Structure 1
Amino acid sequence: MIGDVALVAGAYLLGSIPFGYVIPRLVRGDDIRDQGSGNVGATNVWRAYGWSLGLPVALLDVAKGLVPAALGLWLGGDWVGVLAGAAAMVGHARPVFLGFSKGGKMVATAGGVALALAPLAALSAAAIWIVVFALGRYASLASMLAAAALPLLCIAFGSSWPVVAFTALAAVGVLALHRQNIRRLFAGTEPRFSRGASSS
């Protein structure tokens, strides 16, 4: 029990590492919060600096969800994996290392958690993201549709109910964090993805 609590706490701390802030600061000397939307997630980094910084941030954000969820799954089963993954996502959204200020929108980190808990469903959701993004060039729309599809894919692939419940709650969280993007999509003012474009 104590080990499970320690794992969940460690997952939050790992999730709180703001790679989208750290990497541009180390490589370029810039504060990503002064670029684009000010978001510290991988999308804003990619838009501001291109793939050379955006890709490492995206991979690290995935890893900080994947590693604690996989470790929790191995040590304690679905419930511990779910709790560790959720803690990593909360850390990403409200990182202690940035004073609990606004973090990223949890998409990449949630993807990492899902990859550990339900790999086939996660890969299928990633395919949805790629198709939607390729067709419309809206990273926000691709992220929301992939997140919304994830719990349904988990059901289709026979995931346990704690994993299905987790992915459903994660989808709600992702949609809530994209509420400004939803308003802009309906208004026709959401920017399409391109390097250097404003993001959120």
Structure 2
Amino acid sequence: MIWRYLLCAAAAYLLGSISTGVLVSHRLFHDDVRKYGSGGTGATNMLRTYRLKAALITFAGDALKAALAVGLGRFLAGFDGGCLAAVFAVIGHMWPLYFGFRGGKGIACTVGAVAVLSPILLIPLVVLWAVPVALSRCISLGSILAAIGLTPAVALWCHGQGLAPAFPVGCAAVITLLILWAHRENMVRLAQGKENKI
């Protein structure tokens, strides 16, 4: 069984390493989004650099690769395999093998992963993201709060489903910590009142 989990992790990391933002910026703009703004490859930096269409394509691509990784993980090793794949898809997105280990911050990947693991969890997470963004116009604030909400949301969902919570909640906690780490500079700017707004 161990080999199945190892395969889940490896495949998810390789899928997560496909940086949609880099590919879109190269293909559509003959450019590299990492040269601009935050230097990230995610939808927010694509929005600020190339506007809405590029950001939507990037978000969809990043969510899809994580969804595929989690689907493969579930096929290979059940629900826990999907949870493990979610973690490694996010790791691959943040530190992509193919693009110099410079990636995004993991939000779209997390959305894609959750959509496959339990779509109903997207409801509270979207609310936690959308309300702060609407009020503050800071995308990072919504992303941080949604990331913080992920772990308790998974814990409550496991309780409601009668599932053993240790592994899913542990994986959710790792993803939360990864996203918070990726947003550490944003948190400093938010505390200083200097964060970029949309």
1:186 corresponds in structure 2 to: 191
- 2: CA distance between counterparts of 1:137 and 1:105? 18
- 2: CA distance between counterparts of 1:40 and 1:15? 12
Conservation of the 8 A alpha-carbon contact between 1:115 and 1:123:
no
Write the letter of the residue equivalent to 1:118.
Answer: S
1:129 corresponds in structure 2 to: 129
2:106 corresponds in structure 1 to: 106
Name the SS of the counterpart of 1:157 in structure 2.
helix
Deviates more, 1:108-117 or 1:136-145: 108-117
CA deviations over 1:134-172 (Å, ceiling 9, x no partner): 111111100010111111112222364122221122111
Within a 5 Å distance, the mapping from 1:42-61 to structure 2 comes to: 42-61=43-62
Conservation of the 8 A alpha-carbon contact between 1:120 and 1:157:
no
- 2: CA distance between counterparts of 1:104 and 1:77? 27
TM-score (normalizing by structure 1)? 0.89
Write the letter of the residue equivalent to 1:129.
Answer: W
Indicate the percent of aligned positions where both proteins have the same amino acid. Answer: 35
- 2: CA distance between counterparts of 1:140 and 1:96? 25
Within a 5 Å distance, the mapping from 1:154-169 to structure 2 comes to: 154-158=154-158, 160=163, 161=165, 162-169=167-174
Conservation of the 8 A alpha-carbon contact between 1:15 and 1:64:
yes
Write the letter of the residue equivalent to 1:18.
Answer: S
Deviates more, 1:66-75 or 1:147-156: 66-75
Which runs of 5 or more residues in structure 1 are unaligned? 194-200
Q: CA RMSD in A?
A: 1.6
2:72 corresponds in structure 1 to: 71
- 1: CA distance between counterparts of 2:5 and 2:188? 40
Which runs of 5 or more residues in structure 2 are unaligned? none
Conservation of the 8 A alpha-carbon contact between 1:118 and 1:154:
no
- 1:4 Cα deviation (Å)? 4.3
Write the letter of the residue equivalent to 2:33.
Answer: I
- 1: CA distance between counterparts of 2:85 and 2:157? 22
1:36 corresponds in structure 2 to: 37
- 1:186 Cα deviation (Å)? 0.8
Higher relative contact order (CA 8 A, sep 6+): 1
Conservation of the 8 A alpha-carbon contact between 2:4 and 2:76:
no
- 1: CA distance between counterparts of 2:91 and 2:144? 18
